[in-house]
Structure 1
């Protein structure tokens, strides 16, 4: 659509006024020196000078500025998709400067955002590659060994096939977690909201992870005796996954003979907050902002031996946000961590 000229008379008005005042005063002095000052003549001269100056200046300014401004608009093809291009071309330099400055700031912000995203994309691809190639190379190594003749030894072949299967299970685990995150991000994963007792759910998660915790002699406990059920509205299966991921993390990075404690408190009238607290190794303050990123690991070397897909906390965050709830973290290095999230309380 052709851009239309948005006229402004401010510049011509002020400039014509200055010229008129100057020439009228000059004429007054000249007439005074000739001893023939005529007020009517001066008024007529001022009006004529003002009108003529205004018309000439406005015409010249419009032509001069419009041509150059239009060229700027036409040359900057990037402006096609911006609000600046959709507005009429203005000859008001203050307005134009403001629009260009606003456009430049927006573009600077966009560029900085794109740079951050590009860095995240590179790091994410590197992490995905690392997480996938480890089990892939493991499986390939065992299979090549079997192909080279180890398959004839029944004991060795069973051992290697079992290890290869473990590597494939890890690959499937990573792919399933990635698929879940993708569905949560695009909103394809539907939540089955129901009423259930959060205390009962925590107890069932404790039962599932009791053996895992016992290997490090970590005690799974509540902060107090909950004699009455606490009913919440949420997707029971997904909240179980959230609790499982958080408690598994507390066991992985917890101290030997440590504790993982769960507490449920009333936050406001229709909300409860669930806290998962441990006395493990804790997390440094610099790593906390990135903790929910996919594949981000605090300890790049040691944490990999603990297994997992590296997607647990990212999944936790997406599930909680899919419920329109909040998740929080407080942690101190060598002291412990506390992950907490809110849930809607059932009426």
Structure 2
């Protein structure tokens, strides 16, 4: 059946030769008034035209198309590919070739976009990494040089400088440990050992370990009403403790004085438990929410309020939760507060 939108090279050659053979043989019949020479000329023109057009298409047009396909695959053709180019490819219509080329162009456009995004991410990551290292290193350098150059430094001032130097060394150590941990998480080198435990008990223990920080800002921690009944989850307890520690420290750090932190624990279904940590602090602007789990990313408000963290806490949380094959999410409104939630497996018998 004639389909102008899906013509192979052989069909194109045949229809072209037929289009020439019919009118020429009709003219020959009209002139000679004899059907035998007309049929002879029809056969000769049809066969000769078909062979000629096939040769031209194969030699000049589809030979170029084969080169395009080789360029698309970007490789020296193997014996198998040569067979494909020689016997299978010529059966494709020009429309099918156009679809293949368009698909290849879209795929490469997506790759280019991904590469550009990765390059932008790499550039920003290096800038942030440089900033995080530069701040404590320069501070240490400044304090040490002052102590070395001062012939008669007051002992009280000298001790104060040493304490600040020690604090910046500790910050560098924390940063290096966090970098090492997130690298291990991304490489899948940290093993997740799951066991059953009560999530409310872990929440209380974790907050108790940093309660002195909360007391300094008079921040109160509680488990929401209706969520007090013990719920058992199946997860790596120490890894989840680390997640909760990061989330609670952030809630204290960015929470308002005399504010509150509330934890909610919900059974979403028979297989999943949702854990949420909410604060009533400064909140996060909407445009920053999609990037909040990126390494070293901090909002302008967060960066101005905190100069001690590594900027890797939420990124580590995300990797730990994903290593559990679970999800983590955030909701926030400026000057209202932030809620970060993640799911865990329910108790396993």
TM-score when normalising by structure 2: 0.87
Give the direction of change, closer, same or farther, for the CA distance of 1:187–1:150 in structure 2 (3 Å limit).
farther
CA contact (8 A) 1:196 1:236 kept: yes
Distance in 2 (alpha carbons) for counterparts of 1:219 and 1:99:
62
Aligned to 1:222: 223
CA contact (8 A) 2:200 2:228 kept: no
Gaps of 5+ in 1: 1-6
Distance in 2 (alpha carbons) for counterparts of 1:320 and 1:81:
44
Per-residue Cα deviation, 1:115-141 (whole angstroms, up to 9, x for no partner): 111111111101001110111111111
Q: How does 1:56-95 map to 2 (within 5 A)?
A: 56-69=52-65, 72=68, 76=71, 79-80=74-75, 88-89=84-85, 90-91=89-90, 92=92, 93-95=94-96
Give the direction of change, closer, same or farther, for the CA distance of 1:82–1:212 in structure 2 (3 Å limit).
farther
Matched, 1:53 2:54: no
Q: How does 1:178-327 map to 2 (within 5 A)?
A: 178-224=179-225, 226=227, 228-299=229-300, 302-303=303-304, 305-327=306-328
Per-residue Cα deviation, 1:157-195 (whole angstroms, up to 9, x for no partner): 332222111110000101111111111111011112111
How many residues align structurally?
334
Per-residue Cα deviation, 1:90-146 (whole angstroms, up to 9, x for no partner): 345334333322222222211111111111111110100111011111111111112
Q: Which range moves more in the overlay, 58-67 or 139-148? A: 58-67
Distance in 2 (alpha carbons) for counterparts of 1:333 and 1:62:
66
Distance in 2 (alpha carbons) for counterparts of 1:334 and 1:154:
44
Displaced runs of 4 or more, over 6 A: none
SS in 1 for 2:339: strand
CA contact (8 A) 2:227 2:266 kept: no
Distance in 2 (alpha carbons) for counterparts of 1:247 and 1:94:
59
CA contact (8 A) 2:331 2:340 kept: yes
Give the direction of change, closer, same or farther, for the CA distance of 1:26–1:331 in structure 2 (3 Å limit).
farther
Distance in 1 (alpha carbons) for counterparts of 2:206 and 2:243:
10
SS in 2 for 1:293: coil
Distance in 1 (alpha carbons) for counterparts of 2:260 and 2:25:
93
CA contact (8 A) 2:25 2:41 kept: yes
Distance in 1 (alpha carbons) for counterparts of 2:329 and 2:338:
11
TM-score when normalising by structure 1: 0.87
Aligned to 1:104: 105
Report deviation, 1:305. Answer: 3.3
Q: Which range moves more in the overlay, 94-103 or 305-314? A: 94-103
Distance in 2 (alpha carbons) for counterparts of 1:165 and 1:19:
93
Distance in 1 (alpha carbons) for counterparts of 2:186 and 2:224:
34
CA contact (8 A) 1:294 1:314 kept: yes
Per-residue Cα deviation, 1:10-69 (whole angstroms, up to 9, x for no partner): 2212212222233233334x24xx6x353x554444333222211121122211224434
Distance in 2 (alpha carbons) for counterparts of 1:252 and 1:169:
18
Q: How does 1:10-29 map to 2 (within 5 A)?
A: 10-28=11-29
SS in 1 for 2:300: coil
Report deviation, 1:70. Answer: 5.1
Q: Which range moves more in the overlay, 88-97 or 268-277? A: 88-97
SS in 1 for 2:242: helix
SS in 1 for 2:340: strand
Q: How does 1:325-336 map to 2 (within 5 A)?
A: 325-336=326-337
Give the direction of change, closer, same or farther, for the CA distance of 1:245–1:151 in structure 2 (3 Å limit).
farther
Per-residue Cα deviation, 1:197-230 (whole angstroms, up to 9, x for no partner): 1111001012112221122121111102655421
